[in-house]
Amino acid sequence: MMQRRLTMYFSGLFLLLLSLIPLYAHWQSEPFLLTFATRVLILALAALSLNLILGFAGLVSFGHALYLGLGAYCVALLAHHDINNGWLQIILTIVVCASVGAITGLISLRTSGIAFIMITLAFAQMFYYLIVSLKQYGGDDGLSILSRSDFGWFDLRSPTTLYYSAFALVLGMLLWVKHMVDAPFGVVLRGCRMNERRMQALGFHTLRYKLAAYVAACVVCGLAGLLYANLANYASPAYLAWTLSGELIVMVVLGGMGTVFGPLVGAFALLCCEELLKSFTDHWPIPLGVLIIWVVLTARRGLYGYLLDWDARKGDV
């Protein structure tokens, strides 16, 4: 009971503080803080989508950033042709990410382990080089976005509106995952992670469940890409790179793989530590790497796992 209260208080307080960041940034005249916090929320949304397949289904995708890039380019390509209607951009993002996710998922989900990792990486690299080859759309230089998405009664040109849009999507994703974990769909996914053959013996068509989770994760990551393009006013092939996929995996593991709230904590911790260490040294990856190793070795379920395992640690003292 104490553990549950502690996690509820922490989650509520954390979300409350996040909701107040635009007010604080405006009060202190710190536009960088608002931009940085928006970036954290957008990448947290992408990490939450990855956690859906990595944390609950045990599928290590090294190409998940592909869908972040596809979402960004859905905005950039339409904007390049003077189509700034946000609803059309969202529809295109969902259709493209769901279609690519379904096709690649049907192929990659028939494998497991290192084969699954390599296939997802291969698909991401294929699309990366496809984007680079499109010289009329910037190629490896990327594509600038002159106007942000316009949704009619609100548009993303306001940094505060963009922040709260990202915050709303993160909050919605958290609530959905919290409901999904104990629903039959989530139970089957976790069962697949532990013993897929046993789930199949019980009569579950595990491929359908994993494919549904995979496509849902792709669509949510695509929406994160849509917001990322609006934040940067730019779409780059680097958004599809395997290095960004690796960064998303680190966020999930650092925060707490297989937990509802962990990826948000992991994204916040990783990006804040990165920004803080950059102000002290040009060799910031070294202490950041040491910090990540320490957390992985000492926290069974990441930073958020410290709270989840609080009662157990207290009993050991």
pLDDT in tens, 176-213: 999 998 898 989 999 988 888 888 888 888 899 999 99
- What are the C-alpha distances in Å from 172 to residues 165, 205, 220, 233? 11, 28, 11, 25
The residue that leads in pLDDT, 93 or 1, is 93
Neighbouring residues of 261: CB distance < 8 A, sequence distance ≥ 6: 7, 11, 14, 174, 255, 304
Q: What angle do CA 35, 38, 39 make, to 5 degrees?
A: 90
Measure the CA–CA gap between 298 and 312, rounded to whole angstroms: 14
pLDDT band for position 258 (cuts 50, 70, 90):
confident
Q: Beta-carbon neighbour count of residue 202 at 10 Å?
A: 10
Structural domains of the chain sorted by starting position, each given as residue range(s) with its CATH number in brackets: 2-25+32-316 (1.10.3470)
Residue 313 has pLDDT above 70, yes or no: no
pLDDT tens digit string along 136-148? 888 888 899 888 8
Q: Would you state the pLDDT for residue 308?
A: 66
pLDDT band for position 151 (cuts 50, 70, 90):
confident
Secondary element (H or E) of residue 235: strand 234-235
Q: How far apart are the first and last CA of the chain?
A: 19
pTM: 0.93
Q: Beta-carbon neighbour count of residue 228 at 10 Å?
A: 25
pLDDT band for position 1 (cuts 50, 70, 90):
low
Q: Would you state the pLDDT for residue 309?
A: 66
Q: Would you state the pLDDT for residue 30?
A: 86
Chain length of the chain? 317
